[in-house]
Amino acid sequence: MIITTILFYLFSAILLGSATAVITARNPVYASLFLVLAFFNAAALFILLGAEFLGLILILVYVGAVMVLFLFVVMMLDINLTRLKEGFLSYLPLGLAIAILGVLELAVVFWTSPLGHIPAPGPIPANADNTRALGVLLYTHYLYPFEIAAVILLVAIIAAIALTLRRRQGTKTQSIDAQMAVRAKDRISLVNLRRPEQ
């Protein structure tokens, strides 16, 4: 399939290009939009591999929700480009050290574990339904790890809310219960204004 090969190299090239642009773009808003493009092309690669569930979930979760919130925050920053460029040289040694460490660790993992020797995927059977296949695996064989991961995420959600929730004094908030419980007779009283009999 020559078309698939061409598409693979096209999507990979855009993916690598936009991933590079994420870290080189000066403007944080551009950087997040490039990250969206990178996610999109990664999803396209998944779909080329026949893993349509992973590809679509990547778009749904990362592009549709996570990056929207990222942009939400990044856009509210007061972008001062000159201040962002300051201190590049002083951070360079630390950044380089972390980058080299990351590359080394990845290299060790790929050389020593079977991860580096995965055979190329065979031809995709027509009408393969990998959503069902993943679901069956997750809810039978990997049920406990899956549930434990879910509980850890739930704990993280609650912890994040508990850490940021603070009740400030003096803010005016609506009490929805009180609003819903209001009845007409609480607000209006009809007064009989007829003139008394002489």
Partner 1 sequence: MHDFYQTGWWAVIWSIIKIVIVVVPLLLGVAYLTLAERKVIGYMQVRLGPNRVGFRGSLQPIADALKLMFKEVIIPTSANRFLFLAAPVLAFVPALLVWAAVPFGPDVAISNMNAGLLYVLAIAGLGVYGIIVAGWASNSKYAFLGAMRAAAQLVAYEIAMGFALVGVLMLAQTLNLSKIVEAQAGGGFWSWYWLPLFPFFLVYFISGVAETNRAPFDVAEGESEIVAGFHVEYSGMAFALFFLAEYANMIFVSLLTTVLFLGGWYAPINTPLLTWIPGLVWLLLKTAFLLYVFLWIRATFPRYRYDQIMRLGWKVFIPVTIAWIVVVGIALETPMRAILR
Contacting residues toward partner 1, per CB under 8 A: 29, 33, 36, 52-53, 56-57, 59-60, 63-65, 68-69, 71-72, 75-76, 127, 129, 131, 174, 176
Which residues are CB-contacts of 56 (< 8 A; sequence separation ≥ 6)? 43, 47
CA distances for 101 relative to 16, 22, 187, angstroms: 21, 20, 69
Residue 13 or 75 with smaller CB distance to partner 1: 75
User: Shortest distance, CB of residue 102 to partner 1, whole angstroms?
Assistant: 30
User: Shortest distance, CB of residue 88 to partner 1, whole angstroms?
Assistant: 24
User: Shortest distance, CB of residue 174 to partner 1, whole angstroms?
Assistant: 7
User: Shortest distance, CB of residue 67 to partner 1, whole angstroms?
Assistant: 8
Least Cα distance to 48 among 16, 9, 13, 17 occurs for 9
Least Cα distance to 23 among 89, 72, 95, 75 occurs for 95
Which residues are CB-contacts of 139 (< 8 A; sequence separation ≥ 6)? 146
CB 15 within 8 A of CB 38: yes
Residue 104 or 128 with smaller CB distance to partner 1: 128
Residue 19 or 74 with smaller CB distance to partner 1: 74
Residue 77 or 149 with smaller CB distance to partner 1: 77
